[in-house]
Amino acid sequence: MVDSKQSNNSVASTADDPSRASRIWLVVILTVLVLVADLWSKAWAWETLRDAPAITVIEGWFYYEFGFNTGSAFSLLRDASWARMAFIGVTLVAVLYMARMAMTLPTRWVSAFVAVALVCGGALGNLHDRLVRIREIRGEERYGVVDFIKVHYGEDRIWPTFNIADIALVVGVGLLLVFLTRHGDALDPKQEGEEDDADDEDADDEDADDEDADDDDSVDDAADKAPVAAKDADDSVDDAADKAPVAAKDADDSDKRASEDADTASV
């Protein structure tokens, strides 16, 4: 009974979850918004900050300053000739994986879909620059990503220049890690199936135990009733034995009366 109630509650919970289509639209809209914001801000930095002095936003803390990153985050591998194609390949794989997650994640957790959208938007924004943005560096044309946000977080401590796509990627990955920590089992349908099978087996075991208990109760009841039935049988036999002499005496009396009647008739 308990298992059937839990099953009904599970079905009701699934029926109440948002539709897959609504979550996909959420991912698409957020991805487009992040991508548009990133590309617009990079275009502004390209036209305004390139070959121009930095713009102070908060003195000593926050500046807009042009940067052109030919490597990965924090300018790693910026001089490696193979880095650009490697980054493009990794980005495409990441976006495809995020798309697969959007098609398979349980729809009840909106944070997971927001994370997917942020990662996709940020990855596509930087991918755009690696595909089309070119600048001459030391007499050589190089592909790279436009960065323009510079933050000072202490005396003579400067965080590497970044952009809106980088912000979206960091926040998206952070949300995704939180989701995986709390609901990582949701990504493993096989494990969920095994858990369901285990629950079914437990329910079957409980039913079997209940049946065994009923059988034991029946045996106990029969054992309890057996002495009573035996006693009743003994009492019946005793009653029959007690009544037998009386019946025999009645039969003799009947024979005597019959004989007397016969003698009377003869006289």
Token pair recorded at residue 254: 């009947």
Q: What is the pLDDT of residue 125?
A: 96
Q: Given phi > 0 = left and psi -120 to 50 = alpha, else beta, which region is 259?
A: alpha
Residue at token pair 């936003």? 57
Percent of the chain with pLDDT over 90: 46
Residue 205 falls in the annotated catalytic set: no
Instruction: Name which of 23-27, 41-45, 47-51, 198-202 the model is least confident about.
Output: 198-202
Q: What is the pLDDT of residue 236?
A: 53
Q: What is the pLDDT of residue 6?
A: 43
- 3-state class of 58 per DSSP? strand
Dihedral pair phi/psi, residue 107, rounded to 5°: -80, -5
Please state the rounded mean pLDDT for residues 47-58. 94
Residue 7 to residue 149: CA distance in whole angstroms: 52
Q: Exposed, middle or buried by CB within 10 Å (0-12, 13-18, 19+), for 172? A: buried
Residue 153 pLDDT > 50:
yes
The strand order across the sheet containing 55-58 reads: 55-58, 62-69, 145-154, 157-162
DSSP for 167-179 reads: HHHHHHHHHHHHH
Residue type, 13: S
Q: At 45, is the pLDDT very low, low, confident or very high (cuts 50, 70, 90)?
A: very high
Residue 8 pLDDT > 50:
no
Q: What is the pLDDT of residue 216?
A: 54
Dihedral (Cα; 102, 104, 110, 112), 10-degree rounding: -70
Residue 3 falls in the annotated catalytic set: no
Q: What is the pLDDT of residue 194?
A: 47
Q: What is the pLDDT of residue 21?
A: 95
Residue 194 to residue 209: CA distance in whole angstroms: 22
| Diameter of the chain measured on Cα atoms | 166
Residue at token pair 């948002």? 18
Catalytic, out of 3, 38, 79, 166 = 166
Residue 233 to residue 98: CA distance in whole angstroms: 81
Q: At 123, is the pLDDT very low, low, confident or very high (cuts 50, 70, 90)?
A: very high
Please state the rounded mean pLDDT for residues 55-82. 78
Residue 159 to residue 148: CA distance in whole angstroms: 12
Catalytic, out of 147, 156, 215, 261 = 147
Residue 139 to residue 20: CA distance in whole angstroms: 51
Percent of the chain with pLDDT over 70: 59
Q: What is the mean pLDDT of the chain?
A: 76
